[in-house]
Amino acid sequence: MLKALAALVLMFSVAKASQISIPAVDDLQTTTPEAEAQAIRNRAEIAEETLDEGLTPDELAQEFLIPGGEYFKASVNYTNRLFILVNKAEFGTSPTAQTMRVYLDGQLIYNFYVSTGREKPEVAKSGKVYNSVTPTGDFRIQRRSKNHYSSTWLAPMPYAQFFIGGIAIHATVPSHYKALGHRDSGGCVRLHLDNAKIMWDLVDQVGANNVLIRVVNQQN
């Protein structure tokens, strides 16, 4: 039996996170959540880089203009029941730098390490020069793609939840777990796979229109 949300202990994403108190919403009814999670892990383990390293945010947005996934239109019925606060400040400049604090109904329930953009000029595989910046501000989820795998770059972005163009909260691959807590992405907000799944399930629980994502650059 899953633990109740009220009994959850604040944790960081470098360790395997506890399950939240709701069942995972499984898009594939012919398999189990455990089998699906293992399949995602297997695909991630063979990739040496994540999709947001090979593409600029604009190119990444184009990559996702394909059938499938869930899209969300602007709504007058938005609430902030689930509040996701990401501090993209460089490691060492703030106690909350490179963390994601997650509030449900005003209560802090998770504190995860993340990796945001490297914040410097980059050259994508296409040769295009861009800045690997994670934008600051308030955002709503625009699209969710649970099992996306890029046929162009042969790279996974499990549990991707896009909040502006090609910028998403998503799971990173095992080879980049050690970088969590430091700037390491092409602009996306990366999480440990287990914690990306927790965030996916939380959005399923409250509904995408009830989620506010705030990205700040807060330094001491």
For residue range 20-35, what is the model confidence (pLDDT) as tens digits?
Answer: 332 232 332 334 445 5
Asked which of 19-33, 69-83, 168-182, 196-210 is least confident by mean pLDDT, the reply is 19-33
Q: DSSP secondary-structure letter at 158?
A: T
SS3 assignment, position 40: helix
**DSSP track, 48-112:** SS-HHHHS-HHHHHHHT-SS-SEE----TT---SEEEEEE-PPTTSSTTTTEEEEEETTEEEEEE
pTM of the entire structure? 0.71
Single-letter amino acid, residue 153: W
Could you tell me if 40 and 193 are in contact, meaning their C-beta atoms sit under 8 angstroms apart? yes
Could you count the other beta carbons within 10 Å of the beta carbon of residue 45?
Answer: 12
**pLDDT score of 50 more than 60:** no
Q: Is residue 94 classed exposed, middle or buried when 0-12, 13-18 and 19+ CB atoms within 10 A define those classes?
A: middle
Q: Side-chain half-sphere of 197: how many Cα atoms within 13 Å?
A: 22
Single-letter amino acid, residue 68: G
pLDDT, one tens digit per residue, over 59-92 is: 766 665 544 455 555 455 677 899 999 999 999 9
**pLDDT score of 2 more than 90:** no
Could you count the other beta carbons within 10 Å of the beta carbon of residue 66?
Answer: 11
Could you count the other beta carbons within 10 Å of the beta carbon of residue 161?
Answer: 23
| Residue predicted with more confidence, 131 or 98 | 98
CATH of 50-216, one of 3.10.580.10, 2.40.440.10, 3.40.50.2300, 2.40.110.10: 2.40.440.10
Q: DSSP secondary-structure letter at 94?
A: S
